[in-house]
Homo-oligomer: A and B are copies of this chain.
Amino acid sequence: VPEAVALPESAAEVAEILRLAGEAGFPVVPRGAGTATTGAPLASQGGLVLSLAKMDRILEINTEDLVAVVEPGVVNGVFRRAVEERGLFYPPDPASFEFSTLGGNVATCAGGPKGLKYGVTKDYVLGLEVVLPTGEVVFCGRRTIKGVVGYDLVHLFVGSEGTLGVITKIVFKLLPKPSAQATLLVGFAALEQAVKGFASLLSQGLLPATAELLDEVTIQAVGHFLEEEIKAQALLLLEFDGGDKQVQEDLEKAHEVLKAQSLFVEHALEAEARERLWRARRNVSPALKRLAPGKLADDVVVSRSRLVPLLRFIKEAAARSGLQVACFGHLGDGNVHVNILYDPSREQAQAQALREEILAQVLALSGTISGEHGIGLTKRAYLPRELPPPVVALMRQMKDLFDPQGILNPGKIF
């Protein structure tokens, strides 16, 4: 619980708050919608929570320049719909898109299912207005795609979890909206088959916008929420988008490639039918909550070629520990959400030991311990395992450079 909450309505008000914090020496914790999974927006050392919720205006959507300018408190889903109404497209859609704010998305470099084809939040941020911990309001970057004048401060703020500055305005790059989408739900007899099937799509030159993978534990869990039983050990939910003919062509090719390798392939082109295929995926989070009272969730990434070894390792380690682990996530970019299901009243130690084992294996496979959730509080201890000491030292020095008094979101990341 913070000592106070401020709801500023302008960059000037944010600047005043930061100047005051510098004088009085209290922590300031920037907060969007508070959907972070790592504790990043918590006032863990007390002080002031600085909510950007009231700075929620869409300032510009420019259809000619394919650019939008927004305040940080705009909810991702609100923005996406506003943009789509104008025939444009903002791809990053983290699972929290109906709640999380764009400022928070930028501060954590939020991802989502479209990483392989469309990248993540950082790929859409052209410019930022930021209030520095000193209270100075600066604009970094530009409103054009190209620009190489000095160092790239924009990408330094993206993903910095509110530790370097408070974002008060964002200039986003947009795309034209694809005219068609197709969704495929593909069942496989084994996880390995699903990964292999996806690789064969890529090798045929197909680039799905989405490739969501559900493992056996996850499929069983979502069973409660579906009318029909899913008879598969692995599910792949694919989406293709583009021009009408392109999507038709991709769909035919995908059927051809996958039919021999899979148990079934269903597809849908219309919004409602597509949403039906998404049902299993949409219910993953509530379904997992039913399985066990506790859940340790990680957000790891390895190269696709190393996914099968990682998933096999996880299954074996889970079997050894006697705990259930549900894996699902974004196959396209190798981002797996690993959920260790346990009873906190008696399995805390096993769950934690299993987590350590899995994270160590991710690093051994040259992966990363956080693909899209960030470090915040809950993964601080793991940061030095991924990053070598001189890199951590450089980052800490950068933090000191931007925030010499250490008032901005102290105790996060490092």
Contact = CB atoms under 8 A, between A and B. Distances in A.
B203 A142 contact: no
A274 interface: no
A357 B158 CA distance: 34
A249 B386 CA distance: 46
A311 interface: no
A212 interface: no
A78 interface: no
Contact of A245 (B249, B330, B372, B394): B249
A197 interface: no
A410 to B, nearest CB: 16
A397 interface: yes
Given A146-B334, A148-B372, A152-B160, 9 more contacts: A64-B202, A64-B203, A115-B145, A116-B145, A136-B390, A144-B303, A144-B368, A146-B330, A146-B372
Interface of A: 62-67, 87, 108-109, 111, 115-116, 119-120, 122-123, 132, 136, 138-140, 142-156, 158-160, 164, 175-179, 199, 202-203, 205-207, 242-246, 248-250, 301-305, 330, 333-335, 366-375, 383, 386-388, 390-392, 394-395, 397-398, 401-402, 413
29 contacts: A62-B303, A62-B305, A66-B202, A87-B205, A109-B148, A122-B152, A132-B390, A136-B390, A139-B388, A140-B391, A143-B366, A144-B333, A144-B371, A145-B334, A147-B301, A148-B372, A149-B368, A150-B375, A151-B164, A151-B395, A152-B159, A153-B391, A153-B395, A154-B155, A155-B156, A176-B206, A245-B249, A246-B249, A398-B398
